Structure 1
């Protein structure tokens, strides 16, 4: 294996160590790849065998996700470190370590001509709290939660050259512009046209209530040019609480260029849930930097459920992960529904496990089929972990591949690179 170490000039504060690998790093399952394969599904799973507490995820590859089983035992590529998060963009798979304040490892892969995962890069970057694909780049943001140092640092990573190409800073106290001095904390990143929209909640950043706010009933989205990352304006609304959740995307763009904003209504004050507004959806029309009068009350339409996570499928339809009772600002839901933002309907998905038996859902990374008809999600129950394939048109789920000895954390797909 040939290794080259490069240091990125002005990006030195990242402490990046880039490693290019010529050799193949095989992460295949027992379904060994054969010549002529065109694509593979990528499944990440955390081992659950006895004595495996605190271990890292494994990356598994498979030809199909609608049947059969695959095991974490003796298969896949073991990741270094726990708390891994994933993004697939530009036909590359990126595995990112949440370092809990320390620098974290980032590894990228592609699917070679033999259908095996091949490691492209391995480096360290600052631990970030938001990251998303923007054109052929990944924008990452490390966000301060300290009122004494209210600076968020952003980094642009080129997925073609596999190098960081720019960095900058945002004073989140100035951005929030609150008399109380609260900071803006970005929930996620969404590309809208040629701009980047950063939804945020405001937080005290001090004392015994760092993540608490005295503004629980408002939504804010900071708008930046791209790639310059120059601040343009803030979009504000008081019909919902903040958009998205901590480390959870709440803003998606449809085929018309309209951006739909989901609020879970989970702001907290002094450790208690304090939002008094329902979970709802609002809209920013294409080309606008203002919310219009569109308003969709999710709780009313669903009979009392609220959205914890969602993934856009197409034609105004989302697969929503839903919950019936707010227990914290961070809990993910245990049941599924098709949310139609055009017709303002919520249709429960049948065929998924009893919500009372659900232990974990793969809320951070789910696979949408190429024809936009099916969403594949990972559901772990008290008896095992399976991929469930949700047919959007019929709002029905079918149990697919089982992951033996692991809990599913992400599902994606890569095409072979010739």
Structure 2
């Protein structure tokens, strides 16, 4: 696994990156104060920590980590925003990791607090807190197999509560419920999961979906919402459950259950629905994504509002448990339509896409980070009203790993 390099090596990396800019006839970009925050990983070396840079808008201009930005402590960071607070969390690879809390002052990040918390696998805003869950990948040698949960207050910027969950109880079949993500739905916490029998994430139950329902803040297990029309919801570290304006919740399945290294689900990639105020799948609603998209599966999505999503899609023939689609489409879950986005780079020209992206949820716009094979990095604006993509903010010196906005 990657490890953090010393300050001296980081300095050398930036010197090399700056020299490269000079050779290419470009200058380092000045600060760009604003309320948009981009996490950027330097490209000059491996094992380097992210830098956080601000931007005034995502539609145009440029930002750079060369001479700018706030260096993070350690590699493998993940980020979440709640109101005026930005949380930067270190994935400690099984060990506790640093959590740093920022707000924005005059368009620049200002550190509010930092503390140490457990490495977790799912996290999300709930009320005015950040709820985090650490899920086991193997059965306990003795006793119950437990998941650990933690609550961090966005008011006090500190951890305020913690506890454990029975990680096997939700499946009802003896397998571990490994949460793909967590989400506040009404007053409850919904936790979609993929069932596993060990660290290889294999399952003997590939053709069923489950969502564990918990009270909050006590995190008491209440029930499991089940469906056999799809495979499990989400993928590893992928948020596949979204609540729309009227309170309905939609969930997607990529249909990528695995056993013996082989994809085993017989169900199509699909989108299902839970009506507002209920804790059951709506049996009158099923969107067969493969049919609606003419042969694609959905691998990730960004909600842009008014029942529309910008979705990552991958051809069914090349789907996999960890394959993130490099093509984009606009998905309307009410009309059950999938429309390809035009103006977006060809998949062959994309080295990676950012999975933590931003939308004002105005029913129209979404912003996605794109790292191209030619070495350039951009934020692309996706307009769901006409299914088009437009090149926007340019990022110098590294690869985008997250795009967020702080109020």
Root-mean-square deviation over aligned CA pairs: 1.4
Is the Cα–Cα contact under 8 Å of residues 358 and 366 in structure 2 kept in the other structure?
yes
Residues 368-397 of structure 1: CA deviation (Å, up to 9, x unaligned): 126342101101110111000001101101
Q: Pick from 219, 227, 230 the counterpart of residue 229 of structure 1.
A: 219
Structure 1 distance, partners of 2:334, 2:32, is 43
- What residue in structure 2 maps to residue 74 of structure 1? 67
1:37-52 to 2 correspondence within 5 Å? 39-49=34-44, 52=45
Deviation at 1:69, TM superposition (A): 2.0
Work out whether residues 280 and 296 of structure 1, in 8 Å CA contact, stay in contact via their aligned partners in 2: yes
TM score, norm. by length of structure 1: 0.87
Q: Distance between the aligned counterparts of 1:237 and 1:370, measured in 2?
A: 29
Cα deviation, residue 148, structure 1? 2.2
The offset of 1:328, in angstroms, is 2.9
Residue 352 of structure 1 pairs with residue 347 of structure 2: no
CA contact (8 A) 1:31 1:63 kept: no
How many Å apart are 1:90 and its aligned residue?
A: 2.0
Aligned residues of 2:306 and 2:363 also touching (Cα < 8 A): no
Q: Which residue of structure 2 aligns with residue 88 of structure 1?
A: 81
What does 1:322-341 align with in structure 2 at a 5 Å threshold?
322-324=313-315, 325-341=317-333
1:401 pairs with 2:393: yes
Determine whether 1:54 maps to 2:47.
yes
User: Is residue 2:196 matched to residue 1:219?
Assistant: no
Q: Does structure 1 conserve the Cα–Cα contact (< 8 Å) formed by 2:207 and 2:265?
A: yes
Equivalent residue number for residue 30 of structure 2? 30
Partner residue in 1 for 2:116: 124
How many equivalent residue pairs?
A: 373
Instruction: Look up the match of 2:368.
Output: 377
User: In 1, are the aligned partners of 2:206 and 2:232 still within 8 Å (CA)?
Assistant: yes
**CA–CA separation in structure 2 for the residues paired with 1:295 and 1:355:** 29
SS state at 1:356 partner: helix
Q: Give the match for residue 179 of structure 2.
A: 186
Q: Give the SS at the match of 2:37.
A: strand
Give the unaligned 5+ runs of structure 1: 1-28, 34-38
SS in 2 for 1:287: coil
| Aligned pairs (5 A) from 1:215-364 | 215-293=205-283, 294-324=285-315, 325-363=317-355
SS in 1 for 2:40: strand
CA drift of 1:312 comes to 1.3
1:196-241 CA-to-partner distances (Å, cap 9, x unmatched) read 0001111112xxx641000011100011111121111110001000
TM-score by length of 2: 0.89
Deviations 1:225-282 (CA, angstroms, capped at 9, x unpaired): 1112111111000100011111101111111111101101111112222112111001
Q: What's the secondary structure of 1:174's corresponding residue?
A: coil
| Rounded Cα–Cα distance in structure 2 between residues aligned with 1:320 and 1:327 | 15
Task: After TM superposition, give the deviation of residue 174 of structure 1 in Å.
Answer: 2.7
Distance in 2, Cα, partners of 1:348 & 1:327: 18
Unaligned runs of 5+ in 2: 1-28
SS of the residue corresponding to residue 168 of structure 2 reads helix
Contact 1:387-1:400 at 8 Å conserved across structures:
yes
Report how far residue 357 of structure 1 moved.
1.4
